[in-house]
Amino acid sequence: MEQKQIDVYGIAEQISTHHINGRKFHSFVIKAEMCFENDEYRDIEKTYQVYINDKDLSWDLEDGHKYNVMGFEVAEGIIMAYYTDRWGRYCNVCDAWHIEGYFVGEHEYACSEECALKLYNGDEEAFKSDLAMLDDPDLADEAPTYWTYWD
Ligand SMILES: [Zn+2]
């Protein structure tokens, strides 16, 4: 079978860690619900077994979270991944897992406006003025806070 490049999104389960010849690997099952192929996202419903070298993990693996997995389908339903990214973030204020939310300042995440305001110590004026930078093309790139979709 030709190794097909693959890019899928879905929930990770049955995570386990293996040590092989002194190297650390992880495996998990991903219940894919979306894939990216030919420059577009489309819905799929397929379960893959994923293997990844520990050094290629950019986020810890946790059961029940959504991940983006990129790799090669080396056999039917089996992915050797070279990249995984957790889809979503924990809120720095209330700990809620969220798929879209505010990125605030120096790598902080907020699930809602209420939580984002707490990261500003309640300073609504500062929060609104940082968000307003997004509307100014000269300042938008430097805006410290913005609403985004974690993908
Ligand atoms: Zn929150």
Q: What are 39-78's pLDDT values in tens digits? A: 898 999 999 999 999 999 877 898 988 899 999 999 999 9
The CATH number of the structural domain formed by 4-86 is 2.40.50.140
Q: How far is the CA of 137 from the centre of ligand 1 (A)?
A: 29
Cα separation, 132 vs 127, whole angstroms: 9
Tell me the domain boundaries of the chain: 4-86, 89-149
Report how far apart, in Å, the C-alpha atoms of 28 and of each of 11, 45, 60, 137 are: 10, 17, 12, 43
pTM: 0.66
Q: How far is the CA of 128 from the centre of ligand 1 (A)?
A: 18
Q: What are 83-135's pLDDT values in tens digits? A: 998 888 889 999 888 888 999 987 899 999 999 999 999 999 999 999 999 99
Residue 13 has pLDDT above 90, yes or no: yes
Q: How far is the CA of 34 from the centre of ligand 1 (A)?
A: 26
Q: How far is the CA of 7 from the centre of ligand 1 (A)?
A: 29
Cα separation, 75 vs 64, whole angstroms: 24
**How do strand 23-37 and strand 40-53 relate by DSSP bridges?**
antiparallel
The pLDDT assigned to 108 comes to: 94
The pLDDT assigned to 151 comes to: 63
**Residue 12 pLDDT level (bands cut at 50, 70, 90):** very high
Strands (E), 39-120: 40-53, 66-75, 78-87, 89-90, 97-98, 100-104, 108-110
Q: How far is the CA of 68 from the centre of ligand 1 (A)?
A: 23
Query: Is residue 124 exposed (0-12), middle (13-18) or buried (19+ Cβ within 10 Å)?
Result: exposed
